[in-house]
Structures are given as structure tokens and as C-alpha cells.
Amino acid sequence: MATIAAEQPAEHRRAAVVRTAAERVGMLVLVLAALWGLWEGYRWLWIHEGWTWPFTVDSTTMPHIHDILRQLFRKPTSGVGGDILLVQLLHAAWFTAKEAIVGFALGASFGFLLGVALSQFRLLQRGLLPYVVASQTVPILAVAPIVVVYLGSLHVAPWFSVAVIASYLTFFPVTINTLRGLQSTNRQALELMRSYAAGRLSVLWKLRIPAALPYIFSALKVSATASIVGAIIGEAPSSIQQGLGGFIVNFNQYYSLNPENLWATNLIAALLGIAFFLVIVLVEAIVVRRAPEHVA
Amino acid sequence: MSVVEIKDVAKRFDGGTVALEGIELAIEEREFVSLIGPSGCGKSTLLRIIGDLIRPTAGTVRVNGKPAAQARTDRDYGIIFQDAVLYDWRTIARNISLPLELARWNRRRRNERVQEMLRLVELTGFEGHYPWQLSGGMQQRVSIARALSFDPSLLLMDEPFGALDEMTRERLNLELLRIWEASGSTVVFVTHSIAEAVFLSTRVVVMSPRPGRISHVIPIDLPYPRTAAIREDPHFFELVTNVREALHLGSDLDRKPAAPAAAEAQP
């Protein structure tokens, strides 16, 4: 089947690509419409019936979606600056994205190296892995201020402290999946390497790591979005106002007056997360060469 | 000097299973020796011991006059499994050149060698393809090319065509003989198929299970080069019959029928 697909003429394949792209766009529109319908339908039903469980529905708890969208193009009464909310939020998103990218790069590199080290040294794995797991049971909200204070005393820029906090959420899935991927190498592929008298490093570099890439990429997808959550959470104790975290804290205080502001911010934060995720998917498609049926 | 010299080899697995016992076998240069026997007779285990992928519990294995471990680090043998075990992320050319990279050949020599190997297995033009774009038979030819790329004196094959359909298998048998004659290497070939063993080999080593032993060694005196027509030769059938009888003599099932089978026959 794979051979047949490879032998198809180029124009057939291009047509197929266009068709799948159209299908995806159609699907996206459909899903968005369905979500909109669910939100507005739920809202209408609860208000109409006067239901109060699990919470009372009104314009404060569930503003209209079109009100949220309209808010994006207004100048916020609460908050800062003279731009419309969308422009302010995009600036904030870019600021947070920079923290998240640095945090992601730090966390993913550290996580990968830690995973490789744990896979190569059994003793290290047994000794260290429980603490790696424990590190994630400590709430990030408890760790964040400590990191800010420590790094602040070293005269590190506050945004970098935020990046470090983001990396704290990033590294863990990468470590665990790298370790798992490196340990699930095909036995015969390893025997083959043994028959070529390959050294430990060659086995790692030419077999174990490439074979682990699908595992590593599924971790990177989780981590990419986690790094944004980390950056947003890290902005609060660092008193950083320019990022999405600052906007969230601010809009939170004025929620009862202007709930649309917070919802609009959430929307932008979610879009940022999706953008990060898609970048990883794109990189994976370029880097990982696999049979079509093996790509997650 | 024998290419492979096995003296009193035994293998006991951790659970206490005796996989092999009292194995004595010498394989001469340019021989094509098949190991055949029912499941659990230890034929694959014996192949792995020759290749130093596992260590025997007792006895010695020498390859090219050296201990098996030394022969392995000297890259004296190429191994081929039932699955092609190609690396998905490498093109066909880069799969074939993997052992050459590990042996630190330079790029120019590697490329030349890859082209030569592709010609040998008749896959010229496929160097840029990925393994999953090839059929099972083509993948197995790539794995043969990879095993031969660094010109090992010994080829270890563990049921290499076991997963392929009958027609592909017969075609690859012919191709393997051609490659064997061209490369001048010695082959140890594990198989389930009596006809395949007789068709390919200079000698067929029949093994019996529990514990794994060599029960018969049958020389195959059919002339080379062998063609598909040999499969219809009366002498071919005679040899196939010899191997089949040797297999049945060596198996417990035929000497004393198992109880359930006997009970089934009664009513």
C-alpha cells in the first residue's frame, strides 16, 4: 500500500493534499460553530429555565461570545494604554511567548539531557527518578516566588526568572518520555548494532535517539503548552505587568465589572498555546521520517 | 581452518531450560549450512551464539580461528533476521551504509560501496526511498545488502525469508545463491522449511528439541549453480525425504505419540 502511494503521480498527490487541507478547514469551521452553539445554547437554556446548578448563568459568568469578540476591538476602561484590547493582548502574548520560548528551550534541553543520562546510568535512574517525579508534585505556585527571589538576588532580569519557572513545567514530560523512548528500542535493532561492534555512543546516537524521537515529540507537544502555562503563572510573583499573566491578574480584579476582558485574554492565551503546539507538529513532520501509519 | 568451529557447546537459560547440549559442528570456508528443526530445538540460539549475541553456558565457539567475541568486534560476520530491521528514519542507501559508518569508512568509499551493493541485490534506483516504501521482499534484500556491505567472511541468517510469501521466497532463494556465489562468503542459515534447506545448502544440520541437539548432518550433493528446475529433480525429492525422515526420527512426537493424540484416535 505504501509502495502504491509512493508511485502515484505528483498531480494526484497535490490534489489529495488540497482535498485534505479543505477537509481540515471545513472541520475547523464546523468544530468552532459547534462550540459556539454549545456555549450559547447552554447559556440560553439555563437562563430561560432559571437553573442555578452548577452555577447561575448570567452575563457575568458566561458573557455572549460576540460580546467577548467585540471587546477585543474596544479600548478597555480598566487596564492600561490607549490601544484596543486586541492590540494590547497581542503585545502581551508576544511578551509571554518570549518567556515561554526561552523556558521551553531550557526545559526541553535539560529534560532531554536528563532523560539520556538516566537511561545510560541505571544507578542514577534508581537514585534520581523518584525526585524527578517528586519535583512535579510541588505546586508551581509555591516554587515560583522562590525562583523569583533567588534569581532576583543574582540580578537576573525578571522575565528570565519567569522563563526558568516555565522550564520547570517543561522538562518533566520530556525527561520521562525520552527515558521511555530510549528504553523501548527494538531488540533486534540493538543486536544488529552489537554485530557491527558499535560503541555505546554510536548506539545512542545512531539508533536509540532516532528511534525515541516519536516519544520525545509527543512530550514536546505537551511541554510546549505547559511552558505557556508556566510563563503566565510565573508572571504574577515576578510582578511582571506586560505579559498575559499581568493582564489576567488585572482583569481578574475587575471581573464583575468587565468579564469580557478576562474571557478575551483567555482566548488569546489559548490561541498562543495552539500556535506553540502547531510549531512542534510542524517541526516533527520535518524531522521525523516515519511510515505514514506510524506517525502519531 | 574452519570458519566456524563449535566444541561441546551448551546453553542453559536462566529459568533452567536447557536450550542446547553437546553441540559439535565445524563449518568450512564457502559452505552453505542450514540449521533445521522444530520450534524449540535451539537453532536460533545456536546462530546467536556463533554471532556472540549471547554467550554459551559451556563449550567454545571459534570464528575464523578467533573466539566468537573477538570475531564480532572484528566485524567478521553479517547478520540477517526474519524481519529486515531497517531503520525507518534512514533512506535505503543510508541503511546499507550504516555498518560502513560504524567502521569509519569515508563518504566516497561508502557511496561507491552502496551503489555496488544495490546492484548486487538489484535495487539500483531505490537509494533515496525509505524502508516503508518498499515491499517485504525488497526490504529483506536491503538487509542482505547491508549485511554484505562490509564484506564479512561469514553470513548468519535467521529465517530470513520466513515472513515472505512462497513465490517471493523462491525467487529470493535463487537470488541468495547467486549472491553467495558472487561474494564468496560462508553462510549459516536457520530455516523451518525442508525444501528451502535442501535447495540452498551444501549441508543440512538437523536438530532435535529438549534439549537442543544435532541429530543428523546430511550432505546435499546437488550441483551448483542450482536453478528452479532442481526443485523437480528426483534426487532433490530424495534428499528432501531424507531430511524429513531425519527430522521425524529426532522428534519425540513420532517416537512415542503424545497421550491426547492417541486418545483422539480411539473413538
**What residue in A sits closest to B158 (Cα-Cα)?**
A188
Q: Do A213 and B89 touch (CB under 8 A)?
A: yes
Mean pLDDT of B201-227: 91
Distance CA A2, CA B2 (A): 44
Residue where a domain stops, chosen among B102, B117, B151: B151
Model pLDDT, residue A144: 87
**What residue in B sits closest to A291 (Cα-Cα)?**
B132
Domain ranges, residue B122: 85-151
Model pLDDT, residue A295: 47
- For residues B94 and B102, is the Cβ–Cβ distance under 8 A? no
Q: How far is A119 from chain B (nearest CA, A)?
A: 21
Bridge partner residues of A226 (DSSP): none
pLDDT higher than 50, residue B258:
no
Chain A hits for B79, CB-CB cut-off 8 Å, are 191-192, 195
Q: In terms of domains, do B55 and B167 share one?
A: yes
Total number of domains in chain B: 2
Distance CA A25, CA A27 (A): 5
Q: Which of B72, B85, B133 minimises the CB distance to A186?
A: B85
pLDDT band at B250 (very low <50, low <70, confident <90, very high): low
For testing the chain A interface, which of B95, B98, B142 should be mutated: the one with the most A CBs within 10 Å? B98
Model pLDDT, residue B40: 83
**HEC letters along B200-247:** HCCEEEEEECCCEEEEEEEECCCCCCCCHHHHHCHHHHHHHHHHHHHH
Q: How far is B126 from chain A (nearest CA, A)?
A: 12
Residue A67 C-alpha cell reads as 460580546
Model pLDDT, residue A17: 86
Question: Which value, to the nearest 10 degrees, does the dihedral of the CA atoms of residues A250, A256, A259, A263 take?
Answer: 60
Q: Do B88 and A291 touch (CB under 8 A)?
A: yes
Q: Do B102 and A290 touch (CB under 8 A)?
A: no
pLDDT higher than 90, residue B251:
no
Q: In terms of domains, do B175 and B255 share one?
A: yes
Q: Do A196 and B98 touch (CB under 8 A)?
A: yes
Model pLDDT, residue B122: 87
Distance CA B90, CA B101 (A): 13
Model pLDDT, residue B60: 92
Model pLDDT, residue A52: 87
Model pLDDT, residue B256: 45
> Of chain B residues 123-152, which have a CB less than 8 A from chain A?
129-135, 150
Would an 8 Å CB–CB cutoff place B188 in contact with chain A?
no
Model pLDDT, residue A238: 83
| Coil, helix or strand at residue B18 | strand
Q: In terms of domains, do B113 and B51 share one?
A: no
Q: In terms of domains, do B171 and B227 share one?
A: yes
pLDDT higher than 60, residue B87:
yes
Q: How far is A211 from chain B (nearest CA, A)?
A: 8
Chain B hits for A188, CB-CB cut-off 8 Å, are 81, 83, 85
Q: In terms of domains, do B181 and B70 share one?
A: yes
Residue B122 C-alpha cell reads as 538489484
Chain A hits for B73, CB-CB cut-off 8 Å, are 197
Mean pLDDT of B107-117: 94
Residue where a domain stops, chosen among B121, B151, B181: B151
Q: In terms of domains, do B179 and B222 share one?
A: yes
Model pLDDT, residue A291: 58
Model pLDDT, residue A192: 94
For testing the chain A interface, which of B45, B49, B133, B156 should be mutated: the one with the most A CBs within 10 Å? B133
Chain A hits for B132, CB-CB cut-off 8 Å, are 2, 290-292, 294
The closest of B217, B176, B167, B195 to B78, measured between CA atoms, is B176
Q: In terms of domains, do B39 and B136 share one?
A: no
Q: In terms of domains, do B172 and B245 share one?
A: yes
pLDDT higher than 90, residue B265:
no
Enclosing H/E stretch for A15: helix A10-49
Q: What is the dihedral sign for C-alpha B105, B106, B112, B114?
A: positive
The closest of A27, A49, A31 to A39, measured between CA atoms, is A31
CATH at B163: 3.40.50.300
- For residues A182 and A115, is the Cβ–Cβ distance under 8 A? yes
Q: Do A198 and B74 touch (CB under 8 A)?
A: no
Distance CA B23, CA B213 (A): 6
pLDDT in tens, B23-47: 999 999 999 999 999 888 889 999 9
Residue where a domain stops, chosen among B133, B151, B169: B151
Percent of chain B with pLDDT strictly greater than 90: 67
Distance CA A66, CA A62 (A): 11
Model pLDDT, residue A1: 42
Q: Which of A197, A290, A294 minimises the CB distance to B75?
A: A197
Q: Do B89 and A292 touch (CB under 8 A)?
A: no
Model pLDDT, residue A224: 94
**What residue in A sits closest to B90 (Cα-Cα)?**
A289
Phi and psi (nearest 5°) for B33?
A: -110, 125
Q: Do A3 and B81 touch (CB under 8 A)?
A: no
Q: In terms of domains, do B230 and B252 share one?
A: yes
**What residue in A sits closest to B49 (Cα-Cα)?**
A195
Residue B27 C-alpha cell reads as 563449518
Q: In terms of domains, do B56 and B128 share one?
A: no
Distance CA A57, CA A18 (A): 43
Mean pLDDT of B91-107: 94
pLDDT band at B198 (very low <50, low <70, confident <90, very high): very high
Q: Between β-strands B154-158 and B4-12, what pairing exists: parallel, antiparallel or unpaired?
A: unpaired
Q: In terms of domains, do B145 and B217 share one?
A: no
User: By a Cβ cutoff of 8 Å, what residues of chain A touch chain B?
Assistant: 2-3, 5-6, 186, 188-189, 191-198, 202, 206-207, 210-211, 213, 288-292, 294
Instruction: Please state the ipTM of this predicted complex.
Output: 0.85
Give B150's DSSP letter.
Answer: T
**pLDDT tens, chain A, 296 aa long:** 444 445 556 778 788 888 999 999 999 999 999 999 999 999 999 999 988 888 889 888 999 999 999 989 988 765 556 788 899 999 999 999 999 999 999 999 999 999 999 999 989 999 999 999 898 888 888 888 888 889 989 988 889 999 999 999 899 999 999 999 999 999 999 999 999 999 999 999 999 999 999 999 999 999 999 999 999 999 988 888 889 999 999 898 888 888 999 999 999 999 999 999 999 999 998 888 765 554 44
Q: In terms of domains, do B109 and B163 share one?
A: no
Q: Do A197 and B98 touch (CB under 8 A)?
A: no
Q: Do B98 and A292 touch (CB under 8 A)?
A: no
For testing the chain A interface, which of B85, B86, B146 should be mutated: the one with the most A CBs within 10 Å? B85
Q: Do B79 and A294 touch (CB under 8 A)?
A: no
Q: How far is B102 from chain A (nearest CA, A)?
A: 6
pLDDT higher than 80, residue B86:
yes
